[in-house]
Each structure stands twice: as C-alpha cells, then as structure tokens.
C-alpha cells in the first residue's frame, strides 16, 4: 500500500508538471512581425536604410513599420522580400498569404543558395557585396520572382562573389539564354546546329576572356 501511494504521488507530480507547462505554452504571446524585424536588424547591425533598399520601400516606411505607426505589410511581395533578407520562410509572418501565382523554380537559383551556404555567408552579407541599387534585384532572384540575369558580366559578378567556377557560371548563362530563345519562339532543338555553333563560339570567347 505504501509503494502504491508513492507511485500515485509521483504520477500526480508528473501530471501537475505537464499541466503547468501546457498553461505556460498557452500564455505565450506570439512575437509581432514588427518586433521580429527590429530584432533582426539589431542582431545583424543592418541599418534601416540598407534594409529599405533591399526590400524596395522607403526609409520612413521601415521606421513606421518597426514603430508600429503603420500596420505590418500584407503585400505578398514586400513580405517575401523581408523573409528573403532575413533568410526565413514568409509563412513565419502571420500577415502573409500564399500567392496563387506559381513561384519560379530555377535550378540556377538553388545553386546560388547552395553556394551562399557553402561560403558560410548570411543573406545580408551576400547582398552587401553588390551596389545598393542592385540589391533588390538580387533579393527578387533569391525569392524566385526574377530569373538569373542574361547579362554575362552581371552573372559573373554574382559568381565571383560566391567563388563559383567560371565553367559553372557559363553553363548557367547558356541555359538562361536558351530559355530566352525558347520564350521568344525559337525551337532550339530544330535549330540545334545553329545553337550549338553559337554557344561554342560564346564558350571560347567568354571562358578565355581575361
């Protein structure tokens, strides 16, 4: 009987502890989106001006957003840009609504993300490697809203930042140009001879370029 009483008390203690944990969990207030952004900026020593340029809004808007002078954005594009810069999923913001439009899935974009991780760079550090006016384009590329640039020098600049071999950068560029040709109505398979000759010349020129 004594053993049973001891066991009974232990079980009660465990139940009481679990009950208290559940109550505490229910009392946790979800972090506001504005607070999440403010903490991120502080943690990464990212100036509000830089952040504003990266997500395509005015500096005053960022101040008002953090101060909660205005409601947190419900615009999908803005939230996706914020999430991209913060390197989190946009669904972490309660204001976000999954868009109906399909997101661009490009292997080249995934390759860029892999190299960012391989180089142990944060998204912010990566973005700061580019001129201010170019940063928002890079954000849109990373979030799948824009394809990689068709300008080889621009793409090579990205590759240089991430230490991507020239050969791999060229292959990404060639694939992108083929996409452009196809979208313009060219059948690259029916014109395979012309396309092959064109890219053979481009490869020799671009990879031997100093």
Contact between residue 46 and residue 40 where contact means Cβ atoms under 8 Å apart: yes
Look at phi and psi of residue 163 and say left if phi exceeds 0, alpha if psi is from -120 to 50, else beta.
left
Q: Is 2 inside a domain boundary? A: no
- Whether residue 144 is found in the same domain as residue 67: no
Q: What is the CATH number of the domain that holds 127?
A: 1.10.260
- Whether residue 86 is found in the same domain as residue 48: yes
- Spell out the per-residue pLDDT of the chain, length 210, in tens: 544 444 445 545 555 555 455 445 444 557 889 999 999 999 999 999 999 999 999 999 999 999 888 889 888 899 999 999 999 999 999 999 877 666 666 889 999 999 999 999 999 999 999 999 999 999 999 998 899 999 999 999 999 999 999 999 999 999 999 999 999 999 999 999 999 999 999 999 999 875
* Number of domains the chain is built from: 2
- Whether residue 113 is found in the same domain as residue 198: yes
- Whether residue 130 is found in the same domain as residue 79: no
- Whether residue 131 is found in the same domain as residue 77: no
What is the rounded distance in angstroms from the CA atom of residue 3 to the CA atom of residue 173? 75
- Whether residue 141 is found in the same domain as residue 173: yes
What is the rounded distance in angstroms from the CA atom of residue 161 to the CA atom of residue 122? 13
Distance of CA 195 to the CA centre of its chain: 33
- Whether residue 157 is found in the same domain as residue 186: yes
Contact between residue 159 and residue 169 where contact means Cβ atoms under 8 Å apart: yes
Predicted confidence at residue 210, as pLDDT, reads: 54
Q: What is the CATH number of the domain that holds 40?
A: 1.10.260.40
Q: Is 101 inside a domain boundary? A: no
> What is the domain range of residue 122?
107-207
Q: Is 160 inside a domain boundary? A: yes
Q: Is 167 inside a domain boundary? A: yes
Q: Helix or strand or coil: residue 70? A: coil
Predicted confidence at residue 94, as pLDDT, reads: 92
Provide the whole-model pTM: 0.79
Q: What is the DSSP string of 116-139?
A: HHHTT--HHHHHTTS-HHHHHHHH
- Whether residue 58 is found in the same domain as residue 122: no
Predicted confidence at residue 20, as pLDDT, reads: 54
Q: Is 102 inside a domain boundary? A: no
Predicted confidence at residue 2, as pLDDT, reads: 47
């Amino acid at each position: 009987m004594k053993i049973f009483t001891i066991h009974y008390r232990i079980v009660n203690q465990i139940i009481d502890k679990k009950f208290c944990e559940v109550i505490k969990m229910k009392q946790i207030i979800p972090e506001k989106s504005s607070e999440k952004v403010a903490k991120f900026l502080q943690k990464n020593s990212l100036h509000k001006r830089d952040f504003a340029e990266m997500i395509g809004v005015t500096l005053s808007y960022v101040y008002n957003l953090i101060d909660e002078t205005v409601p947190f954005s419900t615009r999908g594009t803005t939230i996706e840009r914020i999430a991209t810069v913060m390197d989190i999923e946009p669904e972490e913001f309660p204001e976000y609504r999954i868009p109906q439009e399909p997101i661009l899935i490009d292997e080249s974009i995934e390759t860029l993300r892999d190299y960012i991780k391989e180089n142990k760079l944060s998204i912010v550090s990566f973005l700061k490697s580019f001129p201010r006016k170019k940063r928002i384009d890079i954000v849109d590329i990373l979030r799948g809203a824009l394809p990689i640039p068709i300008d080889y020098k621009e793409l090579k600049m990205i590759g240089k930042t991430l230490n991507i071999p020239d050969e791999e950068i060229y292959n990404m560029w060639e694939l992108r140009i083929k996409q452009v040709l196809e979208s313009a109505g060219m059948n690259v398979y029916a014109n395979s001879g012309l396309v092959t000759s064109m890219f053979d010349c481009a490869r020799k020129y671009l990879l031997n370029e100093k």
